[in-house]
Amino acid sequence: MTLLLDVTDVSKRFGGVQALENVGLQVPRGSIVGLIGPNGAGKTTFFNVITGLYPADAGMFLFDGVAYSPESVANVTKAGLARTFQNIRLFGGMTVLENVMVGCHCRSKASLLGAIFRFPSTKREERAIREKSRALLTYVGLREYADMQARNLSYGHQRRLEIARALATEPKLLALDEPAAGMNATEKLDLRELLLRIRADGTTILLIEHDVSLVMGICDNLTVLDYGKVIATGKPADVRSHPEVIRAYLGQGAV
């Protein structure tokens, strides 16, 4: 399997805190890779660095075999790496459908003049955007909420909408920051099923998650972060019994 994302030696410092130190992460094409670690380990910082939200102090970034420098979030998304946010960031005042339609922005090209004069090509594109967005809502199971304002959705549905919106950017790699946070058991089961379906349909997934059963259940590979360093990488079963991981999660005495 070839690597879709290959990131090595990423470092990031915030003032006196070394948030990331020589962190590396490999995501094989077609897999689900989990990034786990205790609170404050640097998972979200790492996410923000590879998606261009924070500039990295150092690091090598390869996406789909091409070197990229994550400096602009928009360009990273255009390259095919879409993300969701730990603290949900929907466009609350827009409808559910419009949220997904915004996701189609970087794969459509109507110009200012096209928007104003509505050329036949613009109308066609607009129709395609609408159809694609409706299809994506059906895909994540939110079809009946299409005309609802996004901020009125339930928590679990908001998470799903974020995923649909990210899928609308047609990513090769979908990076999810704690998608199961705050979900109840049924919602987690549904989420798991959705993630497996997304992978089966050809999108690679990078997952930050606290929920151990979800991570252990669906990830092909795990990378464990603690205090900004990678302490273990491997199959879920190997990582689970790794002494460093047990120490990080359960404390020194547990080993």
Partner 1 sequence: MLNRFSQIHRSTYLWLGVIALVLLPWVVGASGGNYWVRVLDFALLYIVLALGLNVVVGFAGLLDLGYIAFYALGAYSYALLASPHLPQHFESIAAALPAGMHFSAWFAAIFAIILAALFGIILGLPTLQLRGDYLAIVTLGFGEIIRIFMNNLDRPLNLTNGPKGITAIDPIQLFGINFAKTLDLGFMKMPGLYLVFYLFTSLAIGVAIVCLHLQDSRIGRAWVAIREDEIAAKAMGINTRNMKLMAFAIGASFAGVAGVLFSAFQGFVSPESFTLWESIVVLAMVVLGGIGHIPGVILGAILLAVFPEVLRGVAEPVQNFLFGHVIVDVEVIRQLIYGLALILVMLYRPGGIWQKRSAS
Residues contributing to the site for partner 1 (CB under 8 A): 51, 53, 72-75, 77-78, 82-83, 85, 89-95, 98, 101-108, 110, 112, 114-118, 122, 125-126, 129, 147, 149, 165-166, 168-169
- Closer of 126 and 190 to partner 1 (Cβ): 126
- Closer of 13 and 89 to partner 1 (Cβ): 89
Least distance CB 168 / partner 1 (angstroms)? 8
Least distance CB 65 / partner 1 (angstroms)? 20
Q: CA dist 33 to 122, 166, 215, 217, 234, Å? A: 38, 17, 9, 11, 10
- Closer of 98 and 244 to partner 1 (Cβ): 98
- Closer of 77 and 204 to partner 1 (Cβ): 77
Least distance CB 59 / partner 1 (angstroms)? 20
Q: How far apart are CA 75 and CA 106, in angstroms?
A: 9
Q: How far apart are CA 207 and CA 215, in angstroms?
A: 8
Helix (H, G, I), strand (E, B) or coil at 12: strand
CB 76 within 8 A of CB 172: no
CB 254 within 8 A of CB 247: yes
Beta strand pairing status for 32-36 and 204-208?
Answer: parallel
Least distance CB 173 / partner 1 (angstroms)? 13
